[in-house]
């Protein structure tokens, strides 16, 4: 049985009868978008948190090391997300579909506009038009919309460019509200659900817990595994006691990248104009006690992929890039971590975990990458077989005896239904869905799925595996992406990947299986050619002094 972190005990709930959740944690889910993985991770980070009913320090993005290393048995992590309902109404209602705008919501929107235009809140000089200013503000915040353009306005979300824009999920229960004949805003508030986790579906929670789980490990264990894996990290990156504060500072930098004025405006629109709405959505009735929700859990043994994720996030946070581009890179990092987690955990629960000599990376799996154009026919076929092998591994992992035996006494028909749901939305089809979303697997539709890299993924790999301002040889770069993500891109590793996929090894790939990668790096400006046989891959986005 998979050991959870946090060490939750007792009945885990009906949902966790799902074999994929039992294997991978609560939960990774196909319906959650890549953007909302990052949003939810940052939501947990910025929200007030508590463990065993004891609140953590105000503003702490991560639990302190003392708590992480002496976590109370039987307790999970709780956090108190803010709904930001007024802010969403102000920004998104005007752009939402007409049929989703309840008359009570429209009335409250008009009230917000009226109060905002009052001279006590909005004082203008030079005869400026107050309504024009408010329309400009509305367009400003609408421009920060992340996902949910086709949803009801309250289910949309902002790009997490500032703490004040990060809010929890709110779902308008239209049918229940219609039955109750809701006629005004106050009466409508009980019909907003903040706990269904339809879009913020707990994947970001799981990634956050993986970071916490990794940071609680002893430095000697982390360094020992890095040494075995052949990964050379700096002392700061390989010591959780140093990585913890560095990562907290890095995440703070991301959250503080937006001008302070934007955050103040967001707070004013959400609570300054109408404080009662936030009091209803964010606090228990008639108290100032926040509404806490429980996080899920991750496998305790996933700390290896968790520590890699932490280092990669740190490097992305410290790279000097445009704030919006950084968010895009962080979204890719979350998606790649989800895919890596599925594979690494599956490898632990299949016979492939004992087949480390058969071409696998440090986490006992491999992804054979083909050239994007598909001109190398042999590699293309190898990659297709490899995609099938990865899916088969995930399929087999959730059928491990320690999980399968838990369904003793359940009818075969019911077990079949349970596994069908697990495969399609939580297991190997989840892997394929997310990989296609970020362009790691093509084509998006149809047969012949194979692994490739696009420009965004390649940029992410350079920034995540090479420290800002540093450079490595092309051969070293290939070893780094193999160690971090199991990416096989040259003749040697692709040939070995055949063994992992269960097919005979090919030794005649022509010696140029990685030629396309050189061209892509060169075109992106991240390759320095020293000679025909030697090139350097550089991360030019220097975020400060170099690390030893």
- Tokens describing residue 301: 């043994």
Distance of alpha carbon 494 from alpha carbon 510, whole angstroms: 12
5-14, 46-55, 530-539: the lowest-pLDDT one: 5-14
Pairing of strands 487-488, 367-368: parallel
Residue 353 has pLDDT above 70, yes or no: no
| pTM, rounded to two decimals | 0.95
Per-residue tokens: 404 = 């399968």
pLDDT per position as a tens digit, 365-405: 999 999 999 999 999 999 999 999 999 999 999 999 999 98
Beta carbons of 235 and 548 less than 8 angstroms apart: yes
**Average of per-residue pLDDT across 460-482:** 96
- Confidence grade of residue 532 (pLDDT, cut at 50, 70, 90): confident
Q: What is the pLDDT of residues 175-216, one digit of tens each?
A: 999 999 999 999 999 999 999 999 999 999 999 999 999 999
Residues sharing a CB contact under 8 Å with residue 417, sequence separation 6 or more, in sequence order: none
Whole-number Å distance between alpha carbons of 451 and 290: 45
As a whole number, mean pLDDT of residues 343-372 equals: 84
pLDDT digit string, tens, across residues 240-267? 999 999 999 999 999 998 999 999 999 9
Closest CA to 298 of 338, 242, 257, 247: 338
Count of H-run helices and E-run strands, the chain: 24, 15
**Reported confidence tier of residue 406, pLDDT bands at 50, 70, 90:** confident
In percent, how much of the chain has pLDDT > 70?
95
Whether residue 355 is predicted with pLDDT greater than 60 in this model: the reply is no
* pLDDT top residue among 16 and 171: 171
Rounded average pLDDT over 131-153: 92
CA distance 216 to 512: 43
Q: How confident is the model at residue 17 (pLDDT cuts 50, 70, 90)?
A: confident
| Predicted confidence (pLDDT) at residue 139 exceeds the cutoff of 70 | yes
* 62's tokens: 């991560």
């Amino acid at each position: 049985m998979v050991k959870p972190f946090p060490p939750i005990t007792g009945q885990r709930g009906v949902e966790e009868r799902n074999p994929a959740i039992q294997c991978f944690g609560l939960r990774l889910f196909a319906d959650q978008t890549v953007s909302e993985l990052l949003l939810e991770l940052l939501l947990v980070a910025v929200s007030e948190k508590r463990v065993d009913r004891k609140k953590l320090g105000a503003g702490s993005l991560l639990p302190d090391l003392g708590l992480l290393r002496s976590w109370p048995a039987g307790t999970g992590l709780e956090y108190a997300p803010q709904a930001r309902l007024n802010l969403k109404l102000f920004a998104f209602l005007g752009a939402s579909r007409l049929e989703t705008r309840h008359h009570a919501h429209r009335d409250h929107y008009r009230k917000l506009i009226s109060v905002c235009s009052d001279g006590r809140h909005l004082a203008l000089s030079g005869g400026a038009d107050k309504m024009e200013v408010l329309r400009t503000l509305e367009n400003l915040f609408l421009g920060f919309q992340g996902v949910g353009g086709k949803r009801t306005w309250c289910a949309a979300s902002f790009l997490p460019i500032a703490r004040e824009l990060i809010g929890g999920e709110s779902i308008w229960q239209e049918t229940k509200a219609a039955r109750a004949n809701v006629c005004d805003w106050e009466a409508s508030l009980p019909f907003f659900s903040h706990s269904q986790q339809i879009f913020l579906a707990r994947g970001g929670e799981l990634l956050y817990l993986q970071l916490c789980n990794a940071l609680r490990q002893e430095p000697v264990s982390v360094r020992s595994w890095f040494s075995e894996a052949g990964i050379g990290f700096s002392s700061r990156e390989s010591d959780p006691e140093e990585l913890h504060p560095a990562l907290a500072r890095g995440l703070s930098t991301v959250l503080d990248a937006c001008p302070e004025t934007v955050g103040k405006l967001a707070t004013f629109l959400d609570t300054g104009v109408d404080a009662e709405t936030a009091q209803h959505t964010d606090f228990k009735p008639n108290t100032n006690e926040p509404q806490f929700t429980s996080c899920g859990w991750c496998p305790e043994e996933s700390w290896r992929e968790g520590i890699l994720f932490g280092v990669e996030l740190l490097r992305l946070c410290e790279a000097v890039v445009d704030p919006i581009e950084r968010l895009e890179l962080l979204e890719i990092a979350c998606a790649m971590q989800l895919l890596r987690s599925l594979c690494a955990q599956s490898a632990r629960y299949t016979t492939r975990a004992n087949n480390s000599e058969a071409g696998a990376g440090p986490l006992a799996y491999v992804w054979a990458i083909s050239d994007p154009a598909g001109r190398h026919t042999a590699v293309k076929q190898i990659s297709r077989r490899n995609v099938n092998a990865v899916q088969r591994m995930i399929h087999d992992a959730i059928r491990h005896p320690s999980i399968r035996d838990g369904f003793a006494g359940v009818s075969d028909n019911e077990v079949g239904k349970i596994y069908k749901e697990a495969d399609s939305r939580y297991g190997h089809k989840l892997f394929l869905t997310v990989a296609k979303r970020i362009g790691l697997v093509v084509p998006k539709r149809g047969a012949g799925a194979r692994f490739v890299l696009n420009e965004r993924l390649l940029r992410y790999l350079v920034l995540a595996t090479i420290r800002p301002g540093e450079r490595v040889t092309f051969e070293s770069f290939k070893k780094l992406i193999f160690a971090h993500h199991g990416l096989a891109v040259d003749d040697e590793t692709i040939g070995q990947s055949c063994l992992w996929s269960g097919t005979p090894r090919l030794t005649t790939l022509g010696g140029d299986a990685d030629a396309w990668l050189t061209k892509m790096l060169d075109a992106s400006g991240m390759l320095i050619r020293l000679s025909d046989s030697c090139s350097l891959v550089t991360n030019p986005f220097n975020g400060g002094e170099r690390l030893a």
